[in-house]
Structure formats: C-alpha cells, structure tokens
Structure 1
Amino acid sequence: MHGHVKPSPRRSSGHLRFTSNVLRTLGVVNDAACFLGAYLLAAGAYAASIGYYYDSRLHHSGAIILCINFLLIRISRDGYVAFRGQGKDVGGSAIADFVLAAALTGLVVVQLDMLDEFSRGLALYFMGFTIVLLFLSRIGFRMLVSRLMNEGLIGQRVAVYAESAKVAQRVSQLLELERLPHLRLAGYADERTRGERSEIDLAYLGDLDDLLELARTGRLDQVIMAVPRISQARLDQISETLSAASIDLCVLPRETLELTTSYRVNFLGSLPVFAIWQQPIRDIDGILKEMIDYTVAIIAIVLLAPLLILTALAIRLESKGPILFRQARFGFNNNEISVLKFRSMYVDRQDQSGAQRTQKNDPRVTRVGRFIRRTSIDELPQLFNVLKGEMSIVGPRPHATMMRVGDKYYFDAVSGYSARHRVKPGITGLAQVRGLRGEIDTAERARKRVEYDIYYIENWSPLLDIRIILETVFKVFWDKHAY
C-alpha cells in the first residue's frame, strides 16, 4: 500500500493508544485553552499599555460567555470532527465562528444595557489575541497530532475483509483518496483462491479466523467488510465470529464501491440512507435564483428593446412568415415547453422537430438569420420564457424533443442525460461558455456537454451564474461553433 495509508507496526495489546475520536475532545480543550491564554495576554497587555481600572469579574464573565457561544457554534457545525489530514482549514472557519460568537455576545451586552461598563481596550486586546491563538494553535495542533499518529499513540489499525483481492484494492484506493493519516491499513483477508492476490500490493492476512486472532492479540482495531453481494446469513456469521474480540466492525455498502456519481449519507431520523440524487437549487437557493432570473430578464428586455424591435423588422422585411419561431423542447422535470426564438430560417424549410441539425452554411438559414444566430440575438425572445417561469437565465440548454446525435436520439446517446432536467433550462449555460455552443455532431461533444450541465447543477451558486452570464457576453461574438 502506498501513499497515505501505511502498514501498521506490531504493538503489544498493552500499549497505550487512542482512536481518532479523542481528537474531538482535544480540539475543544485546545480552543478553550486559546480563550484562557488570550484573556491572560489581554489582561497583561492592557495593564502594561492602558492601565485603567476595569471590573474583572464582569470581564471574566463576558469572556466565559463568549467562549461558550463559540464552542456551541463549533459543535453545532461539526467543527470538531476527527482530524482528516487534508490541511484545508488552518483556522478560517474557526475565526468566522469566533466573529459570529462575538457578535452574539455583543448583542446580549447591548440588550442588557451594560456596554458602558465594559472596557473597549481590554475587549479589543482579548479579541485580537483570541484570533491569533485560534489560528496558530491549529497549525501546532496538526503538527502535534501528526507526531502522535506517527508514534502510534493515536490511530486505528484496519483490515479489509473483501469479496476478492480486486475489491480490497478498490477499498485501499478509496481510503488513500480520503487522506486519513490516523488509519494504518494492515492488509486484507478473504476466503477466495490465491490466484489474483499477486496482482495487488496489499498484504494478505489470511481468512476470518486469522483476523480474529489479530484482534484478540491487540494487533487490529477495525475490520471493514467490502462484500457487496453478501447474504444476511453470512453477514450474521461473520459478525458473530468477530464479536469474540474487542474490535470495530463496519460494512462498506455496495454503493460506495460501485457508484460513479456523487452521493452523500443522510439520516431520516436515526435511519442512514444513501442520497444518490437530491433536489438541486432548492429552498433559499431556489428563491435567490428565481429573483436573479426575473431581475435580469426584466432589465435585459428594457435595455434591449430597441434591438428586439430592429431584429423583428429585419426578419419581416427579408422573408415572409412569423417573426418568432416556436419549438417544443425538454424543460424542467422533462416536461415539454414551447421555446421562443427569432425566426432565422425560411418558413418552408424549418424543422419543428429539431431532428435535422443546423450546419455551417445551411441553405435553410436566411441572411438575417445567419447574423442573429451568429451573435445569439435569435435566443433573446427566451427572456419571455424566463418571465413565464419556464426557463432560467443560466442552466442546461433546452434540447428539441427529436434532436439526434448520429443515428440516436440525444437522450439515448448519452448516459445520464435525463439528470440535466432537474433544473430549469437556461438561455445560456456552462457548456456554452466552455466551447460547446452550436452544433453537437459527435457523441463525444454531446457527452461533454451533459457533463458540464451536471457539474453546473451540482455546484450552482449565484457567483457561478454571474460568471457564466459575463462569459457569455464576451464569447458570443467570436465563437466559431455558432452558425
């Protein structure tokens, strides 16, 4: 096993060692010590620099209340989860929680009309020292924990009981990606033939009885079962066998090993469930996106009214037929919607179904149509689809119901295509500003467009919408794929 998951050294069962759960307690103690140290430093600095009298009991109480508020906020936000080793947070979230706790404590002080009784100087010293210590202590805390893990004082020695050697290798790779320095992967066990064991770089520990012996002699702390197709009777038998030793036993669900999409574990009360998909952009996010859509649509219609009128006149003067073109396309929840566009083709050559792709120098396209398609002016009537609540400013582009890629319909040609309909379609989208605007003539381009759509859905934010809108404005004039 290479990377962050290392083989476990042999240690006697009497060796003092803690699991990673102790880190949560140490984290709380660390932060409480930061508050105590900050208060002592603040009192000393205040005495040396300002020296005015202050009510020490009142300020002690204020510091304790602030500390309690901070700890409660951290605990409620799972701020003291076990150390994971990625090193992403060196104090940023803790400092944000401290600012929130300080604001709440300040509101209490104001409500009790006690603000005048507090020393501003001492309070500023205290807050400044606390922020510095919270930041520095996290760096030191990580160094200390890493040292304790390397010494074997904190950690868990893990074995994988797998369906096969390849499944054990898959678990090893998943653990390595998680970067869990407190885990020491001792190896794997199974009851299969030895034929494929030479193909992987994990130590073979034997069968179930061998795992039990390792646990009973204090050389193993946890067994991860990775047997996707195990029967309930066999699971009960393994559980009963390993229950003879003091050891953690957990089951890695089939979904963890086999799902290629992202998922998360949620709880319905105390019941754990795998959330394969979740409603995206909902609750407050959904309201915020609706507000952005309606606001941008109204402003755009007002500002672009002269352009809309001129385009309508140009279309009417060049060729006979309606100014607007309506086409049935897939919308939210895969429901059919009527999408508006400025007509860019001769009426007798239009394809209402969308089965026939528009190609470069397409004879069906009028001269005005070629220009408005090239500059995306033909899409502007979809602002009214936005006002009707059928579309969004930014989202996956709506496809014609009969649109094809090669000899297959789009929804048959690309795996996972239907997932893009979990949000409203957009006038522009992430795929369009990443070079996938215009004709989709290959299965590879179709697949990439869907990948961008899914990424957008799973990573939506107001800033991402604004970025896509700005990129659309800049790229629309020189996109070689639009015609």
Structure 2
Amino acid sequence: MAPMTSAIDIGRATALSDAGDTARLDAPGLQALAARSVAEPQAKSQLEGAARRGPFRPEVWLNARQRHASRLAVHWFRSADIAAVAVVTIALLWAMTPGGLLAAPLATALPLIVGATLVLGLMRSLGLYRFSRGQRTPLHLAIVAGIAFSGGLCAVLLDAILAGGAGLPVYIIWTALVTVGLYVLHMGWSDLVAKWRGKGALTPNIVLVGATKHAETLIKDALKRRDLNVLGVFDDRLARNPDSVAGVPVLGDAEALMTHRMTPYVDRIVLAIDPKAEKRVRELTSRLSALPNEVTLLVDPVDAGERSAALNRLANAPLASLGGPIDDDRRAFNKRIQDILIGTVAFILLAPVMALTALAIRLDSPGPIFFRQRRHGFNHEEIVVWKFRSMRHEAADATASRQVTTDDDRVTRVGKIIRSTSLDELPQIFNVLKGEMSLVGPRPHAIGMKTGAVESARLVAEYAHRHRMKPGMTGWAAIKGSRGPLHTAQDVRRRVQLDVEYIERQSLWLDLWIMFVTVPVLLGDRAAIR
C-alpha cells in the first residue's frame, strides 16, 4: 500500500530545477545510481526520494495565495496603461490650451478623449493582457502599435467632423507618445510574465484523483506540454494501484488528500475517473467539496484533439481575463487595493496607539511584546499571525489547545484591557499589508484549535470552506456575535455558516459596512469572552 503521508519534501524540492533533475534521473543515471545503492545506502535513499517527487517540480514552490497574486497582476498592468494614456492625453491638452485644462474647448478635447478611450477599450477587448504562453513579443507590440494608430485615426476623423482645429500634427504627436508609452510598458510586462512562467508561478498545479489509464495518458501529455504541473495522484483503490502513474507518485486515498500538506499548493483537483461511474463520482465530489480547492471532472476524451482541448482548459488560466462581468479575480484585486489603501491609512493613524500598547505590555510583565501564532490562511496555507501579548509569557498557548475562559489566570492585567478592546489584534495589520490577511474576512483560527477535546475542524464538514478567502482582522461573524473561543460544536457550526455567508456576499460596500460597525459592536458586546 502506498504511503499515506506526504511524499513531497517541499523544502528540498525548491533546490532542484527541472533540468537538473531530468539529467539526474534519465535511464542511465537511474541504472548507475541503483548499482551503487548496495554499497551506498544514502544514494539509494536519494534515488527513492527523487522518484517520489515525480517529474513535475516547479523551480519555486508557491502556495495558492502567492500564485493568485501573480495572476492578479493583469489588473495592475491595465491600471498602468490607463495611467500612461491619461497622462499623455492630459499633458497634450494642457499644452494646447493656454488658459489651462478647464478652458479647453470641448471640440478640441473630445477627439483626444475618444481616441484614448478607444485605445484602452481595444487593448482590453482584444485580450492583450492575457500574455498567452508561446505568444511572440514582436507580434504583441505590433498589435499595440496598430491599436494606438486606430485611436489616433479616430481622433483625426472626429476632429474633422467637429471642426476642433487641433491640427494633424497634434494627433501625430499623441499617437507617437501613446505608442512609445505602451511599447515600454508592454515590453516590461512581457519580460515579467516570462520570468513568472520560468519560475512556475503561472503554471497551474493540479492533483489527480483516480490512478487510471486516462490519468496516465493525461500525465504523459502534460509532460510534453509543460504548461501544467501534476503534483500527485490519489485513489481509494490503493490495493490495486502502483506506487506511481507515469512517474507521478500515488500519495494515498481521497481521505489522505483532505489533510495532505500539499493542499495549499494545489490550484485544482481533477477527477480522472470514468464519468459513467456516477455513484463514485458523486461520492468523491461530496467528500472533496469540503476542501477549499476547486474540483473538476475530466471526461475521458475520445481522441488526441479532445484530450488537448481538455488540457488547454486546465492550463489556459495563467492571467485573469478582463472581459465579461466582475469575476472572482477582479473581486480579489479590488479587495487587495482596498486592503492596501485603507490598511496604510489605518497603520499611520493607529501607530501612536500601538506604541503606547507596546509600552504598557513591556512595563506590565516580563516577556516579548508580540505573540506569534501559526494559523490557517487562504486555501489551508499556514501563516504566522501577529498579536500583542496578552498572557503571561510562560503560559502562552500557540496551538489554542485550551481556549480562553472568564477570569483566565493566564491573562495579564494589561492583557485583560487590550483583549476587551481588541487592541491585541492591531499588529495583524502587518499581515494585511503583507498580503497574508485582509481587513475583512473569516477570522484566522489557530492550527489544531480544539473545541472541548476535539479539533474544531473535525466538527463541521464544511469547515474548510471558510478558507476560500483570506482571513480578516474583522469579519461578518465577528460583528454578528460569533467571536472569541468556540466551546461547542454548535458554536463552530454557527461560525462556519456566518463565514460562508460572508464569502458568498462579499463586496466593497459590505466590507466598508463591517469595518464601520466593528468598533462599536465589539466594544458594546460585553457577553463575549475575550
């Protein structure tokens, strides 16, 4: 039976490049290493460890949150393009109007504004922010130049209709400046995306459920394409399965996947089983739905063309699409902008309060000012959350195995004050600015936190759903009374229900409302144990 524990040593894997490992593990290399293994046990162990890692080894292991941040870069790219075109347009209008921008005639300003809008609209609608794999930079830049020329031509025609009188040289200068500006930016974007691809930051990581012939074919095709990383295979029928499928290790059954250390690095779980086995598909889908990772059923293709199309669907999401309605990526981007802007202002305003709190803790009891605790982040990522220390240093509980109770003897005098006012949570603003947390979201729970004698995560099947969004300093559950320790399974269930409700409803206005009412709600809640 295949081992149930993780077979990928993430720490060591980062030191191995794809090219280097391929050189070490070709057929002659394997034979030579195996021959020496009798006399060299260490070499044998090295061989087995390398084989268990499988053929897909990203140069840099990035968890889902870090990889998602790279995919959101497309919105930063477009924002920079908008700024560049706006600066060129405004500068030219200012230079053309001696009395200032406000004095510019509409017939003069409108052609340039329409031209700029057309350029930015075409850049978006033609998909120039996708930077598809294999795309040639010269062709990309030629399209950019064509779009800038179209914007300039539109401005000239509109000027002729309105008789604005700006003159052809103005539009030639505008077109040239816009072209040069976008050229410089897009050359930089292309180089940056190429570096991210080289590190594997834009290559989707998947795991397969089902050690089938279909899975083997998919893995072999993925090896040829190199635009998809298959990190491992899981299958409930371990007794009949090999240790690996086409070089990718079989790491356990579906239950092992639920708690596997690889989960934070996985973008998608793919069911590579026969869709006709409806009962098994329903059972696996139901079990895996408890994970924050997206689950996809890959229907067995009938030919190479369908198989290639299926792999394209899995691999063709390196950068977020800007078309269509607001999607999850756009919403995440907007939320990140909100965290950076509001978080920076909050840090500046709250810096004196944080300094006084730190001084009070130092004078009140021996020990460090800050308390750090490993907690669950986005997609099961483990993050280190910062808080002001509110307990005696020797009684600190990093795993929250004993939750806080009324008149807890571990809490210091200053600790009681900062816990009752939630001042102990303020250092988490560093986690927000770093991108590990958000200002609003499900509160991060300590890893291994227990409710009674049972780990809280085991009490509710949908517990992991709360990890589908970054944790927050405050949240919907916090202002609805579900805050502090969880003493019963019902407490855990209510917290999860509120967290999932927030994730489904999240918007800018809801976040602003939650932040607005957090302080009065928490200060007015005298019943909660803190």
Please state which band the TM-score falls in when normalised by the shorter chain.
0.3 to 0.5
Task: Report the TM-score, using the length of structure 2 for normalisation.
Answer: 0.41
* Structure number with bigger Rg: 1
TM-score by length of structure 1 reads 0.44
- Which of 1 and 2 has higher RCO (CA within 8 Å, sep 6+)? 2
